[in-house]
Structure 1
Amino acid sequence: MSKLPLSGIRVLDLTSVIMGPYATQMLAEYGADVIKLEPPEGDIMRGMGPHREPGMGPVFLNLNRGKRSLCLDLKSPDAPDVIRKAIASSDVFITNMRRKALEKLGLDWNTLRACNDKLIYVFLSGFGEAGPDAGRPAYDDLIQGMIALPDLVSRANGCAPQYLPLNLADKTMGLFAAQTVLAALMQQRMHGGAGQYIEIPMLETMASFVLSDHLGASTFEPPIGPPGNPRLLSPYRRPYRTRDGWLSSIVYTDRHWESFLQLVGAGDLWESDPRFRSMTSRTQHIDEVYAFVDQHMATRTTEEWIEALNAADIPAARAMGIDELVGEMERPERGVVHRYQDAEGNWYRGLRPTARWSDSQPQAGGVAPRLGEHTGDILKELGIG
């Protein structure tokens, strides 16, 4: 097999919680040597249980595979020498520490680029450093609230505002960060060897992510209506209740609608009812047309609908519970969830990279590192006793 795409790239990773570790795990899967720089107490996510072994909780295990852990007290007298030598041998430095703390510790851009003028310095901030919230801490729940996700859930479901039950902002930001690192490495290698400073603000990035769906009629100047995507905000955009369970399906295109109306014995509506005839009209009457589907889904079982809808080339699948999802993704033909062991023979479930490469396939690393597990090896590589 060819070398992994980022073989030979070293990333000094001073991130914690979810956003940064999610990004750097992807870089590790691509073959980068990711050195996770941790304080003596370790990444806070080590403590989020349940635990079989202290400091090795499931979220930490699933975000830090394939990395090496360097435990270092950044306030110690020896820390600056270690950092200088680590930076000199690194291609990328990525951090989500707050700017004032970085400056106090001598880990700011101006200080580190003096050690390596080719360094790509990636700063993951909560808020744009030029904005009114600069320097404030940010977490997933806070950002979800500020980018209107609880409001959108409330508008769609007629309930109190609620956060989405996953770390959507953190994980999405991790994807943005990994993409940015890859683009910066390509730019550097194709157009010159200079390093650069890159800031990725969480609020502004996630606001753009949400508004690409929901800027809506305020896209136009002057606005021709309120922001929001009517289809996404319909209370009927949800799994449909069947006679014996729940079905995920989307009747979307003109062809889908013509076929669905035939399936439910209402084919004449395709010609006689203008609400169904075009995407524009269906969007204007989205609650009514989705309610029409909802009403008919209750007349058959889930499997009957899956067979009928798939035969008509209308996307449909059984809506799964989270337990079912784990089992489904563990099937060999899916290959997402797999089992692996640590050096002591303990078994774990983990997640594989899902892209399929014909050559140089990215790899899930071994078990996430124990705190400071590789400190001695890394210091030796840096020429430090």
Structure 2
Amino acid sequence: MTGGALAGVRVVDVSRVLAGPYCAQLLGDHGADVVKVEPVTGDLTRSWGPSRPDGVSAYYAGLNRNKRHLAADLGTSEGRELMLELLADADVLVENFKPGAMTRWGLAPDMLAERLPRLVHCRISAFDPDGPMAGLPGYDAVIQAYTGIMDLNGEPGGPPLRIPMPVVDLTTGLLALSGVLLALHEREESGKGQRVDISLVDGAMSLLHPAAANYFMTGAPPHRLGSAHPNIAPCETFPSPAGEVYVAAGSDRQFAELVSFLGAPELADDPQFRRNADRLAHRHELNAVLARLIAALDPDVDLARTLIAEGVPATLVRSLPQVLDAEDVAARGMVTELDGLRMLGVPVRLSRTPGSIRTPPRPLGADQVAGG
């Protein structure tokens, strides 16, 4: 196996919490040499949730593998000199400090760009760093509320709900990764680095499909639909003898295959249900019929495998332990173990230069401490 697609790329990660560390971890998964520089007090996530005796929490562990671990007080001369030393031969800097912090430490972005013209500087912020909300802190759940995601999530008539995974931070990390890779690719032609700017608000806004597209076209504000889909029917959860089952018959063909499987093929020709637009207009009538048919299914039938084999996207709603112990997940290596620590695997698979998990997350300052 080679060193990965990004072997030879050097990354300095001085970001904290989630989006930045996730971006840097993904770079490390594919072979980049990533140095994580934490405050001497440690990344805030080291104290979030269950932890090992060495100070590695479960939350921290999920975002900081495949990195070297340094600690530095960037407000000291020792910390500044360490940063300049690391950046001298770095390709990428990932940071998420408030505007002005880098300048106070003698590491102003313009100075770095002049001194290190090939550096790709990835700056992650909560809001537009040059806008009216510049410098204000933001966390995933707050941004979910601020950008309307939380208002869209929940049961009809119920209160808005936070999506339990930090989707804003994770999406922002993925967008930051794509920006870094774009800038590295362009540097091959120009020989010059550039700044990559991404905010949590931008990341959240990119998730507003199809709600935003529907609103732009109709002017009608969306309403909470629970597990249903605003543009497709049927596309929601129904109770079955084996547990809750999610059905997503997104096309007329899939709907015909679904009702045929359920023993009611005539529903595909019913004028109320023949086309997706018809099914949306008669969603409540359709759901009542499907609920009755699905409730009568044989509880011993493997609904996920059977329905998907019939061409209908559907599955029993599985619990997290069921997913993490599933045969297909294990076969893909999406749950793996290193030094006794279970973790999620590398989701992007390359045929010649695959990513890998080489080093586990480590204690604070395991490789070096400066200025603390």
Q: Is TM (by shorter chain) over 0.5?
A: yes
Contact 2:150 2:162 survives alignment (8 Å): yes
Alignment check: 8 A CA contact 1:214 1:229 kept: no
Residue 158 of structure 2 aligns with an amino acid whose one-letter code is C
- Deviation of 1:218 after TM superposition, in Å, equals 3.0
Q: 1:13 Cα shift?
A: 0.6
Residue 361 of structure 2 corresponds to: 368
SS of match in other structure, 1:185? helix
Q: Which moved more, 1:314-323 or 1:327-336?
A: 327-336
| Secondary structure in 1 matching 2:66 | coil
The answer on whether the counterparts of 2:235 and 2:247 sit within 8 Å (CA) in structure 1 is no
Q: Give the alignment of 1:212-251 within 5 angstroms.
A: 212-220=209-217, 223=218, 225-227=220-222, 232-233=229-230, 237-251=235-249
Query: Letter of the aligned partner of 2:78 in structure 1?
Result: D
Q: Paired residue for 1:16?
A: 16
Letter in 2 for 1:149: I
Give 2:203's aligned residue.
205
Is 1:62 the counterpart of 2:62? The answer is: yes
| C-alpha separation in 2, matches of 1:370 and 1:356 | 29
Per-residue deviation, 1:121: 0.8
Alignment of 1:177-188 (within 5 A): 177-188=176-187
Letter matched to residue 194 of structure 1: K
Alpha carbons of 1:311 and 1:340: their partners in 2 closer, same or farther (altered >3 Å)? closer
Q: Is 1:285 matched up with 2:282?
A: yes
Could you state the TM-score of these two structures normalised by the residue count of structure 1? Answer: 0.87
Deviation (angstroms), 1:86: 1.6
Superposed displacement of residue 339, structure 1:
1.9
Distance 1:217 1:209 in 2: 13
Match for residue 109 of structure 2? 109
Instruction: Tell me the distance in 1 between the aligned counterparts of 2:343 and 2:296.
Output: 39
- State the shift of 1:236 in Å: 7.8
Change (3 A) 1:263 1:78: closer
- Alignment partner, residue 159 of structure 1: 158
Per the normalisation by structure 2, the TM-score is 0.90
Shift of 1:21: 0.8
SS at match of 1:5: coil
Counterparts in 2 of 1:84-99, with a 5 A limit? 84-99=84-99
Cα deviation, residue 98, structure 1: 0.5
Question: In structure 2, how many angstroms separate the alpha carbons of the residues matched to 1:226 and 1:245?
Answer: 33
In structure 1, distance between residues paired with 2:19 and 2:306:
42
Alpha-carbon distance in 1 for matches of 2:268, 2:299: 25
Shift in Å, 1:152? 1.1
Mapping 1:202-351, distance limit 5 Å = 202-210=200-208, 212-220=209-217, 223=218, 225-227=220-222, 232-233=229-230, 237-271=235-269, 273-304=270-301, 305-306=303-304, 308-328=306-326, 332-341=330-339, 347-351=340-344
Q: Which residue does the alignment assign to 2:143?
A: 143
Deviations 1:266-308 (CA, angstroms, capped at 9, x unpaired): 323322x223222232233334434432332111145434465
User: Closer, same or farther in 2 for the Cα pair 1:311/1:38, shift >3 Å?
Assistant: closer
Alignment CA distance shift 1:107-1:2 (3 Å): same
Deviation, structure 1 residue 30: 0.9
In the other structure, the counterpart of 1:2 is: 2
The corresponding residue for 1:383 is none
Q: Distance in 2 between matches of 1:150 and 1:174?
A: 20
- Measured in 2, the distance between the counterparts of 1:217 and 1:171 equals 25
Alignment identity in percent?
28
- 1:369 is displaced (CA, Å) by 2.3
Query: Cα RMSD (Å) of the superposition?
Result: 2.4
Over 3 Å counting, the alpha-carbon distance change for 1:374 and 1:287 in structure 2 is farther
**Alpha carbons of structure 1 residues 78 and 307: separation in structure 2 relative to 1, 3 Å:** closer
Q: In structure 1, the residue corresponding to 2:202 is in which secondary structure? A: helix
Count the aligned residue pairs. 366
- Which amino acid is 1:292 matched to? V
Which protein has the bigger helix share? 1
User: Aligned-pair distance for 1:94?
Assistant: 1.0
